[in-house]
Amino acid sequence: MRRALKIPAIILFLTSFLLAQASNPPTIADVEKFLKDAEARLDDLSIKASRAGWVQETYITDDTEAMAALANENFLAAVSELAGQAKRFEAMQLSPEMGRKLMLLKLSVSAPAPSDPKERAELAQLGTWLDGSYGKGKYCPNVGPFAGQCLGQNDMEKAMASTKDPAVLLDLWLGWHAIAPPMKDRYTRFVQLANKGANEMGFADMGALWRSSYDMPPEQFGAELDRLWQQVRPLYLALHAYVRSQLVKKYGPELVPLNGPLPAHLLGNIWAQDWTNIYDLLDVPGRGSGVDLTPALEQNHVDELRMVRYGEAFFTSLGFDPLPKTFWERSLFKKPADRDVVCHASAWDIDNQEDLRLKMCIRVRDEDFRTIHHELGHNVYQRAYRQQPVLFEDSANDGFHEAIGDTIALSITPEYLKQIDMITQVPGPEGDLGLLMHKALEKVAFLPFGLLIDQWRWGVFSGQIKPENYNQAWWELKEKYQGVAPPVKRREADFDPAAKYHVPANIPYTRYFLASILQFQFHRGLCRAIGYTGPLHRCSIYNNKVAGQRLNKMLQMGKSKPWPEELYALTGERQMDATAMLDYFGPLKKWLDEQNAKNGVKPGW
């Protein structure tokens, strides 16, 4: 006689559970509880990941990398799990706040983890290894003025800024880019795993996920970037053409083509993203008008700590609270002599409340003085939105976070420097072209670089750019957007993109392009708010409480509203607009066009 088949108890349980779920759809109360629990869990895990990440970046060892990887893995696992659970609420009619939180939950990591535990662990380990590998990167020249020294990123930047010898610059450029090739295979695998995580969340790839973070469809955001670039491209082309003509005078047409792209190693910066270190090569009226703050810092015996105090004082002059005591106790201001650290400047919010920190290997120079104001802008923003729910503890979009500190840095005018007794005399209008050129070599020169890094990565993430063409595509984009070429022929094995921190660290970069536009828009809005009517490049909001109140109103909103609403709160405008940048550099653009025409220099390459 045949025995009756018994249905295992677990099958009966699952069947009844699924039937119950189908007959009892989720309620608003279920969504509220889910979000409350999710935010508490993410808050706890993000704090643990921040603590581990801080230790890993300031004490780079195999052990700290392992601890940071584990903490990051746990956070990624929670996000993936919660994003999967949130799918059951997608068809519900929710309040704008609930709907926004569920959307932001899916977008809360730049590299979503696959659901498979082994792959999730591998992704976290790869991410930490890539970050640490960059931090440990060094080049030890055998010849030239830096022979016998081993240069990390900070020292390499200093070396590139201190010489105009093309042979030395080439050696340094090649040496730094040599840190990148070992990262290629692991980066390729990292992309595969993160793309799988993005697919599981419903995105075509990681690039589509990144482009979904701007309160508009991904394809619309791409069009928005192109619109902004077309607004500023004529200004960049005018600057590029003039700089090229001046480099030809210095190095000759054998090294600098008369009508071609600029050689990457001759621009005073490892990545050719900031050209301020060649300012002294340019023939500009008012060039010696005190635009470089470095001599004043040295004459005033300003050290690293006092540099940070100046930055804090700017924000307190606007009405913001002083930085907490723990900031001064726990931050890293100088590169330790006994260990490797990631020297790339960054602002940290460890506990989403008051444990704010700055990590920066400060050098007493003009660039770092401004960078400190930028990084403290992040800290002030982090503190301002700490009363928001966890999923709203961020900037309106990532470009806003980067733009705030740079907006403050635009107020580092001669007038401000005179107010803080850094200089004794404010240059007259005859020095404006020098001031604007110096600023343009920092801000305008950066624009295409800020755009092209993610253009490359989005192609990598989508599969349009294959591993066997990584380097070729990189230099094609460098030439297309920047008009910059490698100083020597490059191979696919070189993997030059990874010589820039944000690529191995997997930090989205379009935010910096947006910040380059937004900072001038913010600056113009704040200057209008205080009734300023003079040249925009001479406006400083230092010591103005009205500007501070207007700024703080937006900062406190965090990510609770779509960014056009938050932009409106600060500027009265709802669209990102580069005309403020064009207003700021208007006198320089006019002069550049005149000089290029007079000298028969044709913009473009």
- Could you list the active site residues? 344-345, 374-375, 378, 402, 502, 512
Q: Tokens for 206?
A: 């990681």
- Burial class, 308, CB count within 10 angstroms (exposed 0-12 / middle 13-18 / buried 19+): buried
Alpha-carbon distance 542 to 320, whole Å? 12
- DSSP letters for 495-508: -GGGGSTTTTTT--
C-alpha to C-alpha distance for 576 and 189, rounded to whole angstroms: 36
Q: Rounded to whole angstroms, how far apart are CA atoms 586 and 574? A: 23
Beta strands in 422-508 (DSSP E): 484-485
Helix (H) or strand (E) holding 426: none
* Residues 6+ away with beta carbon under 8 Å from 25: none
Give the integer Cα–Cα distance in Å for 178 and 499. 8
Chain position carrying tokens 């003009």:
366
Please give the Cα distance from 303 to 65 (Å, whole number): 31
Q: What is the DSSP letter of 484?
A: E
Residue 222: how many CB atoms within 10 A of its CB? 16
Rg of the chain in Å (alpha carbons): 25
State the Cα–Cα distance between residues 202 and 205, nearest whole angstrom.
9
Structure tokens at 459: 């192609």
CA 598 to chain CA centroid, nearest Å: 38
Alpha carbon distance 420, 314 (integer Å): 10
Mode of pairing for the β-strands spanning 346-349 and 356-359: antiparallel
Question: Which structure tokens are listed for 128?
Answer: 């930490």
Contact 116/103 with Cβ under 8 angstroms? no
